[in-house]
Structure 1
Amino acid sequence: MMKLHQLDRSSINNSSFTTKIDDFPYFLRIWHYHTELELVVILASEGTCFIGDSIDKFGVGDVVLIGKNMPHMWLNDNEYFQVDSKRNAKAIAIHFKEDSFGKGFFEIPEMIHLLELFSRAKFGLKFLDLNKIIIKKIENLHELEGFEKTISFLQILDKLAKHKNTKSLSSLGFLNLFETSRSINQDKVQSYIFRNFNKSICLEDVAKIANMNPSAFSRFFKKVNRKTFSRYVTEIRIGFACKLLLEKKLNIAGVCYESGFNNISNFNRQFKIIMHCTPSEYLKRHNIES
């Protein structure tokens, strides 16, 4: 991972929110955050989505709402970075703030369900089985202007707020840790963890980055994450392993070592603890659902 960057997503066209189409050979590999909420629809390409401490596979048709100041990055698969690649990565991104339509706008009774949606989006919110009509409405938003565009956007938010099948991405622990004082160099800590989770990684090295002694860092980490550092790293590794399993490019042994585990038995044991099934059972269930 690169250093965490704060990006400016504010409107330069005297508009209360912005819509833009990203169409590149691959998405920018920047681990970043911004003060605006971000609604993303993936129109082309696939890869791995990093939101907070979550690692999830993304593909065409995915719709995700990311809360303000939540670090994230869309990383395309390796094929997209080949010199002779003919692939392209395309998405529509909408950036807005909770006060985009005026202070207190979303606090009136008719809009309170949208405020609740924004609260859920603090962790990153993925919408599953979303009606294609809503997705198309989001795509068309870029072609609208003025009052018509604003009304259409509010209708989209209304539909998303009422959609029941969603998946919360990042953990409460990450949110608490990230919002805590930067005196522990949280951006450097997270960058180091994401860059090294599939290698040998120890608490002492991370504590050194945070400028804390290991025991103090361990206590602090467990307090804000409600889990130990080793458990945190294991969950990230298992999340990455799930992504690799679904891609079906490696066998289970290959996934084990690629995810940072040293032996199959420990990988199977940790996978079952976190996913409540073995890797082979996970694959079997996914095949049935597909």
Structure 2
Amino acid sequence: MRIHKLVHTPQEKTVALSVRHDQKPQNHNIWHYHDELEFIHINRGSGSCFVGDSIQHFTSGDIFLIGSNTPHYWLFDDEYLQENSYVIADIRVVHFLPDFCSNDLLQLDETKHIRKVYETARRGMLFHAPAPYLLQFFDNIGSQKPLNRFVSLLTVLDTIYTTQQYRLLASSNYANLQHTEDYQRMNKVLEYIRLHYRATIKLQYVAHQAGMTTNSFCRYFKQKMGKTLIQLVHELRIAHACKLLENNHLSIKEICFECGFQNFVSFHKSFKQIVGIPPNSYRLSKK
């Protein structure tokens, strides 16, 4: 898996933003970044999203705002990717450059809230059980005329700052990777983890993917990702556990081993630390 810089808005400065409605996930399993901010409503779909050093399980209804050049990728669950699956995703995406309304306009006092939202979005923003104004924005923008889209986006960004109803994803000490050697090395590591997180992951194997000694790799990974390798693996396992708790009749102990944990105590402790509640409480909250 290589890092890709994608372009979502026309190169000619004639269109301020791009609006897309997908029924199949686009750019799935591509660790990528782009100059545009990404405003996405998962109306129907589920999986895991990597934003910076965060791994977030997402479900139908979630909305994300991801900042300019913030690395991320989407791992939709298998049922949304199979060719002949009866399960169809419903994803609405708006991409826009930070200066979509011109730099001069962004320097005005009237748009200071929008500048602050841009800065906050660099860590990724999740709107879980989003407010009606956000749902209305995505319901309407696909059919609006260009000028109305422009005004709607300005209004919703200002309202986001005012309401403050979101959760930040990437940690405050996350150091955005440089889009060069760091990305190429980290992509190999993340791809290895993604493919093997439900099995036993040995540090020396992961360090080998990065072309480093184990000690050097531990320091490098903590510096770049803001967390240890085992913390990242546990987050990915817990994201998978959340999906199974919501949609599967396996017992919690069976889910523990299905996700790659070797003992229930470690699973229970990690789940509560990452999610905030024990796995049995999480399952009950989703019924």
Could you say whether these structures have the same fold, taking a TM-score greater than 0.5 normalized by the shorter chain as the test? yes
CA offsets, 1:191-235, max 9 Å, x none?
A: 222332222212222222222221111122223444332233223
Could you tell me the percent identity over the aligned residues? 31
1:58 aligns with 2:58: yes
Are 2:80 and 1:101 equivalent residues in the alignment?
no
The equivalent of 1:7 in structure 2 is: 6
2:191 equivalent in structure 1: 191
Greater displacement, 122-131 / 70-79: 70-79
Give the letter for the 2:213 counterpart.
Answer: N
1:165 aligns with 2:165: yes
Query: What secondary structure sits across from 1:144 in the alignment?
Result: coil
Given the two structures, how large is their TM-score scaled by the length of structure 1? Answer: 0.84
Q: Deviations over 1:3-46 (max 9, x none)?
A: 4332221226720211121133x555232322211001123333
Query: Does the CA contact (< 8 Å) of 1:49 and 1:72 recur in 2?
Result: yes
Give the whole-Å Cα distance in 1 for the aligned partners of 2:266 and 2:216: 28
Per the TM alignment, residue 96 of structure 1 is displaced from its structure 2 partner at its CA by 0.9
Unpaired segments ≥5 residues, structure 1: none
Q: Aligned runs of 1:86-165 on 2, under 5 Å?
A: 86-165=86-165
Cα deviation, residue 166, structure 1: 0.8
Matched-pair contact (CA < 8 Å) for 2:8–2:95? yes
Q: Cα deviation per residue 1:241-260 (whole Å; 9 max; x = unaligned)?
A: 23322334432122212221
Q: How far did 1:63 drift?
A: 1.5
Quick one: structure 1 residues 196 and 69, their matched pair in 2 at CA, closer, same or farther if it must change by over 3 Å? farther
Partners of 2:132 and 2:69 in 1: CA distance? 28
CA distance in 2, matches of 1:132, 1:140: 12
| 1:108-134 Cα shifts (integer Å, max 9, x gaps) | 221111111122211221113433243
**How many equivalent residue pairs?**
284
The equivalent residue for 1:266 is 266
SS at match of 2:65: strand
Across the aligned residues of Structure 1 and Structure 2, the Cα RMSD in angstroms comes to 2.7
Residue identity opposite 2:175 in structure 1: N
Does the C-alpha gap of structure 1 residues 29 and 43 become closer, same or farther in structure 2, counting only changes over 3 Å?
same
Is the 1:53–1:236 Cα contact (8 Å) retained in structure 2?
A: no
Summarize the Cα distance change of 1:91–1:147 in structure 2 as closer, same or farther, 3 Å threshold. Answer: same
In 2: Cα distance, 1:237 partner to 1:60 partner: 20
Compare 90-99 and 260-269 and name the one that shifted more. 260-269
For the residue of structure 1 that corresponds to 2:216, the secondary structure is helix
Unaligned runs of 5+ in 2: none
Letter in 1 for 2:101: F
Alpha-carbon distance between aligned partners in 2 of 1:61 and 1:273, rounded to the nearest angstrom? 24
**1:70/1:132 Cα in 2 relative to 1: closer, same or farther (>3 Å)?**
same
Q: Which residue of 1 aligns with 2:43?
A: 43
| Structure 1 residues 46 and 266: alpha-carbon distance in aligned structure 2, compared to 1, 3 A threshold | closer
Could you tell me whether the CA contact under 8 Å between 1:176 and 1:224 is conserved in 2? yes
Structure 1 counterpart of 2:3, which letter? L
C-alpha displacement of 1:81: 4.0
Alignment of 1:215-230 (within 5 A): 215-230=215-230
What is the distance in 2 between the residues matched to 1:19 and 1:129?
Answer: 22
The answer to whether the 8 Å contact 1:4/1:187 transfers is yes
Q: Secondary structure at the match of 2:103?
A: coil
Give the deviation of 1:277 after TM superposition: 4.4
Q: Which moved more, 1:53-62 or 1:142-151?
A: 53-62
The answer to whether the 8 A contact 2:40-2:64 is kept is yes
**Cα 1:275–1:29 shift into 2, 3 Å:** closer
Correspondence for 2:241: 241
Tell me, in whole angstroms, the C-alpha distance in 2 between the residues paired with 1:86 and 1:274.
33
CA distance in 2, matches of 1:119, 1:65: 11
Query: Contact between 1:66 and 1:123, CA under 8 Å: does it hold in 2?
Result: yes
Alpha-carbon distance between aligned partners in 2 of 1:134 and 1:280, rounded to the nearest angstrom: 31
TM-score, normalised by the number of residues in structure 2: 0.85
CA contact (8 A) 2:64 2:124 kept: yes
